[in-house]
Structure 1
Amino acid sequence: MPDFQYIAREATGRQVTGILSAPNQQDALNSLAARSLFPVKVDLADQAKAQLKYSGRRVRARYLSVFYTQLADLLKSGVPLLRSLELLHKQSTNPALKLVLEEVRGEVADGTRLAVAMGQHPKVFSELAVSMVRAGEEGSFLEDVLKRIANFTDHQEELKNRVVGAMIYPAFLTTFGTVIVSFLLVYFVPKFEPIFARMSERGELPWATTTLLGFSAFMQSYWFVIFFAIGIAVVAVYKYVETTEGRMKFDQFRLRAYGLGPIVRSLAIARFCRILGTLLANGVPILQSLRIAKDAAGNKVMSEAIGEAAESISSGKSIAQPFSSCGQFPEEVVEMIAVGEEANNLEQVLIDIADNMERQTNRKLDMFVRMLEPLMLLIMAAVVVFVMLALLLPVFQSSGLL
């Protein structure tokens, strides 16, 4: 007899969970009804375990974008919210999203508002999306809000893919160069050691050859120690960056890094302005919008500066003034915010700033990659040339060519 895992409610409304044995699902439902329990969800225990595997997982942006778009289309066509969620749950091909939609539909069926039900899954639905849905429900423009969330999600994913795509080739060059150098030092160079043994005894080896052979011998003898030390260092840095102090210092380094700093700053400002503008355009209060946008900036230093600005704004100051004094925003951005505030179209100005900063970021990123690629090729070429010279110099020297 199979086991069924259930979620049910008592007459008082209290939720209970458990496992019961029954010949089939209908008998399991009847058993719950006989115990004065109202079933919310009844699944085979094995199926419930499989679903548990996906609970708490993040959902990729493209699946969320499709969900927001389809939900907006269904609501606009007059399909009730509960029926729309049920249809999207059945059609979903992503296991994690399918499970979440089932739980959201159950909460909405119990009378919970959509924003509240979504807010119970913070790993799937961002605070920005939840706040916008809440504003859309209160203002009776939920369909429009869902479309805007979908567009925003697509835009952010496109920007992320553009940045990641630009760094693929440099990452490939770094990996390829490391493999080539390791191969030369561990397998290729040691084959020349017997040839240079007599010259080494007489002290006739050039310094470049002596250095290369010494480093090669060290790599052969202690390669496992080197990899272990690198692994320990990476884990230690990762753990340190997870702390508040470590994250702050790491983000400070990113902002100050030559070539990379302006790109990181532009990305953070663009993300902040787009999120803040989107929230304000959808009726979310300014202080709540600032709090959400602050946490979504993606840089601890920028977030701290925005948080201090939000405190100043809550005390009655204008928006532009604290942004100017924090020292993290360019003057032209502050001026545009001030103009938008005076003209009472701040949300549109913020979106325009985000568009402008993203265009600048694309140009800076393109220039950075164009500078990085030849530099990495030159470094690889220099290493290979050094190895070749170090191996050929003794040959030329013994032949009397030098």
Structure 2
Amino acid sequence: MPQYAYTARDMKGNTVTGSLEAGNEREVAVLLSEKSLFPSKVSLASKSASVSLLGKKKRVKGQVLATFYGQLASLLRSGVPMIRALTILSDQATDATLQETLKEVKGRVEDGEPLGIAMSRHSNVFSNMAINMVHAGTEGGFLEDGLVRVGNFTELQEDLKGRTIGAMAYPVFLFSVGVLVISGLLVFVVPKFDDLFDRLRRKGEMPFYTEWLLFTGSVLRDYGLYIVAGLIALGFGLKFYFASDKGRETLDRIKLRIPVLGEILMNLSVARFCRVLGTLLGNGVPILKSLEISRSAASNQLLSQSIAHATENIRGGESLAQPLRTSGYFPRTVVEMISVAEESNALDTVLPEISDSLEKRTFRRLDLFVRMLEPIMLLIMAALVLAIVMALLVPVIKANSTL
């Protein structure tokens, strides 16, 4: 249904603004009258705040959400009523999408909906894990603790994402600079030697590697724009393909086969799964529902399939550890710790500890990998530049020696 923005007055004459979903303006008026509000202006809500240029709803940054969860928990613990707390946070929100979302959530809560159900209507903002933990916290009477845990989890995930991106930023920068430098040499420097190389070619004194270099430079000059356009089109095509289930599985298989980095990425996915599952179980979410949410949060199709198999085992009354062991994607120590935790009924406390330990070990390996990768990339770049320079100089030196 469309979203309508309204301006109305309450029984005391105070101006009230907000938005709600309705079939038409008449239905908006009916819904407002049920709240003892008298509309003075109703119009279709502008989507500029929450919709991107591609027509998709904008997401809210994880750090912003983590702050929101923590602030909501603090307000509720201080005795502030839910609706008042949501009003305060929506007024203070600096993110336009979050502000609009909180206003809509507040309206739903005012209509009698539980907070978790109101949040579930905004899956572009709130994750399945957060929604289910709020559900469990509301039903179990520990909503404030649940919100704190969601906030802590979200902050940890943002830190994990930032560290991963930060670790790979410099190697990607080096690669980009290398491509630009080599392309610049081929397009702008090599053509300056064309006259000399034409004379050498007529004499039959042109080395094959110099011929190859000239050919490559010529292709880049004549068809460079077409090559760039083709690469962009290929990039978009791969993006759409990898967005499908089959494409994601193919990409995950490719990533897994990358030496060293493949294992690092898989271990980070395992750590994320353990943290999500442990956090959900610790907040009273049933294990089957927790596994379902953890599966979607695993960020790896191969791992997700293993978790789905483990879920079927749990439904059949079997253990969680065995299918994880047979999948081959979980480190042996992790599987053994999960097995022991199952026997002692301590999955909710052991899984976050597993995640912490695995993340620390994996980031040590990632840091070592990046430190090794940087000099290797510099050496490769230097070797390529040297090869280009030698391919240009060797025939010149030979030509001078024959004079």
TM exceeds 0.5? yes
* In structure 2, C-alpha distance between the alignment counterparts of 1:90 and 1:378, rounded to whole Å: 54
Quote the Cα distance in structure 2 between the aligned partners of 1:105 and 1:42: 21
Give the distance between the partners of 1:325 and 1:139, measured in 2 at CA: 36
Q: Per-residue displacement from partner, 1:76-104 (whole Å, max 9, x unpaired)?
A: 00001111001111111110000000000
AA partner of residue 316 (structure 1):
G
Matched, 1:188 2:189: yes
Shift of the alpha carbon at 1:318? 1.4
How much does 1:149 deviate? 0.7
Question: Could you report, residue by residue, the CA deviation over 1:295-331 in whole angstroms, capped at 9, with x for unpaired residues?
Answer: 1000001001110111011100012122222222121
* RMSD of aligned alpha carbons: 2.5
CA-CA distance at 1:209 after TM superposition: 1.6
3-state SS of the aligned residue for 2:126? coil
Q: Is contact 1:5-1:19 (8 Å) kept?
A: no
2:307 corresponding residue in structure 1: 306
- Cα distance in 2 for partners of 1:184, 1:371 equals 27
How many equivalent pairs are there?
Answer: 384
Corresponding position: 1:330 with 2:331: yes
Please list the CA deviations of residues 17-69 of structure 1 after superposition, one character each: whole Å capped at 9, or x if unmatched.
5459xxxxxxxx9xx48x96655987664864545647832100111111101
Give distance in 1, aligned partners of 2:335 and 2:300. Answer: 19
Measure, in 1, the Cα distance between the counterparts of 2:319 and 2:197.
75
Contact 2:25–2:42, Cα closer than 8 Å, also in 1 = no
Q: Shift in Å at residue 197 of structure 1?
A: 1.6
Aligned equivalents of 1:110 and 1:233: distance in 2? 49
Name 2:167's counterpart in structure 1. 166
Deviation at 1:224, TM superposition (A): 1.8
> What displacement does 1:399 show?
2.0
| Structure-2 change in CA distance of 1:213 and 1:50 (3 Å) | closer
- Equivalents in 1 of 2:129, 2:5: separation in Å? 34
- Relative to structure 1, is the Cα distance of residues 96 and 382 closer, same or farther in structure 2, using a 3 angstrom cutoff? same
The residue that corresponds to 2:149 in the other structure is: 148
- Aligned-partner Cα distance in 2 for 1:228–1:395: 35
For the residue of structure 2 that corresponds to 1:167, the secondary structure is: helix
Deviates more, 1:172-181 or 1:204-213: 204-213
Q: 1:46 to 1:281 in 2, by over 3 A?
A: closer
The question of whether the paired residues in 2 share the 8 Å contact of 1:135 and 1:284 is answered with yes
Match of 1:26 in 2: none
Matched, 1:263 2:264: yes
2:11 matched residue in structure 1? none
Q: What is the distance in 1 between the residues matched to 2:235 and 2:136?
A: 43
Matched, 1:103 2:104: yes
Quote the Cα distance in structure 2 between the aligned partners of 1:274 and 1:280: 10
Q: 1:220 corresponds to which residue?
A: 221
Instruction: Tell me the amino acid that sits aligned with residue 212 of structure 1.
Output: L
Deviates further, 277-286 or 228-237: 228-237
CA displacement, residues 235-259 of structure 1 (integer Å, 9 cap, x when unaligned): 2222221222221111111112112
- Which amino acid is the alignment partner of residue 125 of structure 1? F
- Cα deviation digits, residues 251-276 of structure 1 (max 9, x gap): 11111211211111111100000000
Identify if the C-alpha distance between structure 1 residues 306 and 7 changes in structure 2 by more than 3 Å, giving closer, same or farther.
farther
Task: Output the TM-score relative to the length of structure 1.
Answer: 0.90
Q: Which residue identity is paired with 1:300?
A: Q
CA distance in structure 2 between the partners assigned to 1:176 and 1:335 by the alignment = 45
The correspondence of residues 82-121 of structure 1 with structure 2, limited to 5 A, is: 82-121=83-122
TM-superposed CA distance for 1:174, in Å, is: 1.0
- TM normalised by structure 2 equals 0.89
Q: Distance in 2 between matches of 1:311 and 1:369?
A: 39
Task: For residue 139 of structure 1, report the CA deviation from its aligned partner.
Answer: 1.0
User: Which residue number in structure 1 is paired with residue 368 of structure 2?
Assistant: 367
Change (3 A) 1:164 1:46: same
Q: Give the 5 Å matches for 1:229-378.
A: 229-378=230-379
Secondary structure at the residue paired with 1:216? helix
| Whole-angstrom distance in 2 between the partners of 1:291 and 1:42 | 46
Instruction: Name the aligned partner's letter for residue 105 of structure 1.
Output: K
Matched, 1:122 2:123: yes
Unaligned runs of 5+ in 1: 9-13, 21-28
The aligned amino acid for 1:397 is K
1:41–1:243 distance in 2 versus 1, CA, 3 Å: farther
Q: 1:36 to 1:68 in 2, by over 3 A?
A: closer
Please state whether the residue corresponding to 1:392 is helix, strand or coil: helix
In the alignment, structure 2 segments of 5+ residues that lack a partner are 9-19
| 8 Å Cα contact 1:6-1:40 kept in structure 2 | no
8 Å Cα contact 2:50/2:97 also seen in 1: no
Preserved CA contact (<8 Å) 1:7 1:16? no
Do structure 1's residue 394 and structure 2's residue 359 form an aligned pair? no
The aligned counterpart of 2:66 is 65
State the alpha-carbon separation in 2 of the partners of residues 213 and 40 from structure 1: 77
